[in-house]
């Protein structure tokens, strides 16, 4: 209650079926004449990139396409996109895809106006100037990268992730159109959806930054995602489910942008970096085990999570309600046939000490976990996941 509330988001968010059509007039209103469309091969092959390109062309805006973004992009991939952008005279960057393409687009726009190398800006608030205008359009319902001030790049040499955090990473406009999500394969739908659910749960239980504002977004995100993730995976053409996932992920992203993540993401990074487990698969597997551990750190909030996830906990003692939240997530993973053990991911018990060491060193995230988590606790959670 004695907190100063602060809230950041893009200048404009357009969301709903057909919202992508607004890209043309909005880009024109920004004065764009020449745009670079940053995407990846999967999104280009699905035909979405052509649709978006045509929307811009119809407004008389020239468009070149860079479609070489890799999943979980590394610094080399990022530099390739910057080099392509420097060859043209672009006045707009459009990022189209999952978190991978949107993050590369956001960093490219920054590097067109800031000197030096990308690594000069790794960390918080190091970017000096706004980039050229960006519009981000997610094609997955997961990362929330369209509304966060973060961009995440892999650094295989350092066996880590590099995160750039700055208000200048936020796009000028975020456009969330569930039609763009229909072609997402079930495996991407489940993985990116679990990432979004992790963002909502972690922001809601963030030790220092959860506020009355972020809680509103986090709770509605949990309701929408948990009621529709199974259906979106089971039947990708179900538009109601795609709508819930698109808006739920947007809300989770807004919560993430203004509160943040903690234990789940700290423990998931070593799985991604060392074993190339996709971000959402790693978060999905770890989420219920970290929630089980964290529950006593904030019993009322974990009990509320259980209710948001649709659990009938009426009449149960509050502690049991809190533990029911983790069980609800396990049931989602089981129904979607997602990995729910390290063994499923072919990661053996011998790998645990090194992963635990790497995760425990992430004090940025662990210090804001709702329950104090030591290196031994981290190791114990990984062992529970075997
Ligand atoms: N910026 C942030 O705040 C933030 C937050 C969380 C994660 N991330 C980062 O986001 C990345 C992961 O993003 P992601 O989970 O969205 O996956 P992704 O962008 O890596 O895409 C995964 C795959 O799905 C395909 N795909 C995406 N949309 C599709 C569609 N509509 N139809 C057909 N194929 C489609 C892509 O081609 C790709 O092969 C990681 O690098 C992660 O670190 C960023
Ligand atoms: Fe995430």
What are 28-59's pLDDT values in tens digits?
Answer: 999 999 999 999 999 999 999 999 999 999 99
Atom of ligand 1 nearest to the CA of 188: 24
The predicted structure's pLDDT at residue 350: 96
Give the total number of structural domains in the chain. 2
6 in a structural domain: no
Alpha helices in the chain (DSSP H): 23-29, 41-45, 48-57, 75-87, 99-111, 186-204, 212-234, 239-258, 263-275, 279-294, 299-308, 318-335, 352-360, 363-366, 375-384
Gap between the Cα atoms of 21 and 171, Å rounded: 18
Asked if pLDDT for residue 185 goes beyond 70, the answer is yes
Q: By C-alpha distance, which of 114, 366, 176 is closest to 263?
A: 366
CB of 40 sitting under 6 A from ligand 1 = yes
Region 177-189: what's the mean pLDDT?
98
Q: Write down the mean pLDDT value for the chain.
A: 96
Does residue 184 sit in helix, strand or coil?
A: coil
Domain end among 166, 181, 196: 181
For residue 10, how far is its CA from the centre of ligand 2 (angstroms)?
19
Asked if pLDDT for residue 159 goes beyond 80, the answer is no
276 in a structural domain: yes
Asked if pLDDT for residue 131 goes beyond 70, the answer is yes
Q: What is the best residue among 188, 200, 249 to mutate for testing ligand 1's pocket, by most ligand atoms within 8 Å of CB?
A: 188
140 in a structural domain: yes
Domain that residue 89 falls in: 12-181
Q: What ligand has the least distance to the C-alpha of 143? A: 1
DSSP state of 3: P
The predicted structure's pLDDT at residue 365: 95
CATH number at residue 335: 1.20.1090.10
The residue whose C-alpha atom lies closest to atom 33 belonging to ligand 1 is 184
177 lies in the same domain as 322: no
126 lies in the same domain as 173: yes
Confidence band (pLDDT; 50, 70, 90) for 156? confident
Confidence band (pLDDT; 50, 70, 90) for 227? very high
1 in a structural domain: no
Asked if pLDDT for residue 135 goes beyond 80, the answer is yes
The predicted structure's pLDDT at residue 17: 98
For residue 299, how far is its CA from the centre of ligand 2 (angstroms)?
23
Identify whether the C-beta of residue 71 lies closer than 8 Å to the C-beta of residue 100. yes
Gap between the Cα atoms of 78 and 119, Å rounded: 11
Asked if pLDDT for residue 1 goes beyond 80, the answer is no
Residues 6+ apart with CB under 8 A from 17: 177, 178, 179, 239, 243
Region 340-352: what's the mean pLDDT?
94
CB of 42 sitting under 6 A from ligand 1 = yes
210 lies in the same domain as 108: no
The first and second tokens of residue 162, run together, are 């590099």
144 lies in the same domain as 202: no
224 lies in the same domain as 115: no
Looking from the CA of 386 toward its CB, the CA atoms found within 13 Å total: 9
Q: Among 104-118, 153-167, 292-306, 339-353, which stretch is predicted with the lowest mean pLDDT?
A: 153-167
Residues 6+ apart with CB under 8 A from 167: 8, 149
172 lies in the same domain as 196: no
What are the residues facing 34 on neighbouring strands? 62
* Main-chain dihedrals φ then ψ at residue 123, nearest 5 degrees: 125, -170
368 in a structural domain: yes
The predicted structure's pLDDT at residue 4: 87
The residue whose C-alpha atom lies closest to atom 44 belonging to ligand 1 is 99
The residue whose C-alpha atom lies closest to atom 16 belonging to ligand 1 is 98
The first and second tokens of residue 221, run together, are 């995100």
Q: What ligand has the least distance to the C-alpha of 278? A: 1
Confidence band (pLDDT; 50, 70, 90) for 21? very high
119 in a structural domain: yes
Q: What ligand has the least distance to the C-alpha of 262? A: 2
Region 205-221: what's the mean pLDDT?
97
pLDDT tens digits, one per residue of 279-304: 999 999 999 999 999 999 999 999 99
CB of 100 sitting under 6 A from ligand 1 = yes
For residue 100, how far is its CA from the centre of ligand 1 (angstroms)?
5
Looking from the CA of 84 toward its CB, the CA atoms found within 13 Å total: 23
7 in a structural domain: no
CB of 258 sitting under 6 A from ligand 1 = no
The residue whose C-alpha atom lies closest to atom 29 belonging to ligand 1 is 184
């Amino acid at each position: 209650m004695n907190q100063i509330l602060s809230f950041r988001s893009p200048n404009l968010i357009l969301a709903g079926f057909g919202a992508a059509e607004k890209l043309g007039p909005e880009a024109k209103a920004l004065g764009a004449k020449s745009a670079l469309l940053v995407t990846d091969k999967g999104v280009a092959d699905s035909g979405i990139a052509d649709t978006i390109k045509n929307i811009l062309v119809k407004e008389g805006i020239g468009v070149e396409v860079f479609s070489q973004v890799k999943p979980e992009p590394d610094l080399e991939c990022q530099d390739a996109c910057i080099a392509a952008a420097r060859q043209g005279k672009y006045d707009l960057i459009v990022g189209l895809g999952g978190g991978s393409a949107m993050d590369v687009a956001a960093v490219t726009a920054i590097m067109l106006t800031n000197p030096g190398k990308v690594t000069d800006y790794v960390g918080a608030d190091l970017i000096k100037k706004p980039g050229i205008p960006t519009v981000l359009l997610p094609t997955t319902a997961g990362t929330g990268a369209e509304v966060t001030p973060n961009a995440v790049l892999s650094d295989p040499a350092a066996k880590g992730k590099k995160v750039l955090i700055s208000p200048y990473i936020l796009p000028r406009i975020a456009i969330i159109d569930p039609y763009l999500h229909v072609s997402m394969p079930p495996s991407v739908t489940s993985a990116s959806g679990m990432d979004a659910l992790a963002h909502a749960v972690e922001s809601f239980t963030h030790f220092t930054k959860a506020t009355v504002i972020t809680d509103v977004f986090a709770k509605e995100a949990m309701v929408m995602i948990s009621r529709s993730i199974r259906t979106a995976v089971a039947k990708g053409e179900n538009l109601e489910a795609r709508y819930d996932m698109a808006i739920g992920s947007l809300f989770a992203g807004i919560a993430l942008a203004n509160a943040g993540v903690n234990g789940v993401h700290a423990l998931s990074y070593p799985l991604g970096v060392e074993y190339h487990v996709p971000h959402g698969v790693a978060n999905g597997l770890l989420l219920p085990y970290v929630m089980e551990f964290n529950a006593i750190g904030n019993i009322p909030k974990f009990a509320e999570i259980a209710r948001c996830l649709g659990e009938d906990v009426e009449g149960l003692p509050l502690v049991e309600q809190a533990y029911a939240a983790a069980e609800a997530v396990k049931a989602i993973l089981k129904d979607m046939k997602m990995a729910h053990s390290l063994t499923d991911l072919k990661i053996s018990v011998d790998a645990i000490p090194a992963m635990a060491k790497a995760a425990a060193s992430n004090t940025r995230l662990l210090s804001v976990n709702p329950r104090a988590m030591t290196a031994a606790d981290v190791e114990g959670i990984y062992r529970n996941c075997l």
